[in-house]
Amino acid sequence: MKNIQDSYVLSNGIKIPCVGFGTFKQPNNSDTVDIIKTAIDCGYRHIDTAFGYGNEEAVGKAIRECGLQREELFITSKLSNDNHGYDNTIKEFEMTMNNLGTPYLDLYLIHWPKPLKCRDHWQEANEGTWKAFEEFYKAGKIKAIGVSNFLEEHLDTLLETATVAPMVNQIELHPQYVQRDIVQYCRDHRIVVEAWSPLIKGNAMNHPILVKIAKKHNKTPAQILLGWSLQHNFLPLPKASSKERILENADIFDFKLSEDEIEELKALEVGGRTGSHPDTATF
């Protein structure tokens, strides 16, 4: 990868830009519109949102006003935890499309595998949801379909009834939480791994090993973390609110971590996850 517009190729041949711009916790207002337009101006072509973020309308406004043709952008959204199951999925997908004001989605994901609302029948709920996903996909309303926060058990169950396999799995992933088993599972099944919270929510920026490696490469700790993702063939989804940070997060293609540096960064693993576990999330 040479820049943020270079792409991975999904199992169905669709290209997905190798770095996405995350919008988690961005409000549904003009500030978010401006931030996303700034990111696009800075070269980002991959924007990640979700129904549960409550900002799809702002994302849609930004992509309409950015000056690029729709097909030049890659837009992802996700099904919320409240609307798993076939009928609910169809209804929420229509709301997402109306919010975004776009004729199609590039990627649609099931946000979490076992929401509290359907935890006692999550297998059946996901089966119905995936049936709707496959219908959207086959109708050309979605270019690619996938999941988020799914572990091996969740994917095994989904694949028992799926006729189209997930193309993406978006999971928490960074040097502090490496999730080796599910990463290997995804590679074995040709599922591209996206990394949410690739900057560890800023929690490790002062870690001495990360600071040392950043100084060696004349980079920031954030850039080192994003470079780590790319060197592992993950697709990071950093978020930022200033043009300076947006540009910084894109300037990650002119260095390479050595094997020794990657080994050193394993010291961060003691920190573990920053978010919820898919099986015990309280939402």
Q: Which residues are catalytic?
A: 53
φ, ψ dihedrals at 142, nearest 5° = -135, 135
How many CB atoms neighbour CB 215 within 10 A?
12
Helix/strand/coil (H/E/C) assignment for every residue in the chain: CCCCCCEEECCCCCEEECCCEECCCCCCCHHHHHHHHHHHHCCCCEEECCHHHCCHHHHHHHHHHCCCCHHHCEEEEEECHHHCCHHHHHHHHHHHHHHHCCCCEEEEEECCCCCHHHHHHHHHHHHHHHHHHHHHHHCCCEEEEEEECCCHHHHHHHHCCCCCCCCEEEEECECCECCHHHHHHHHHCCCEEEEECCCHHHCCCCCHHHHHHHHHHCCCHHHHHHHHHHHCCCEECCCCCCHHHHHHHHCCCCCCCCHHHHHHHHHHHHHCCCCCCCCCCCC
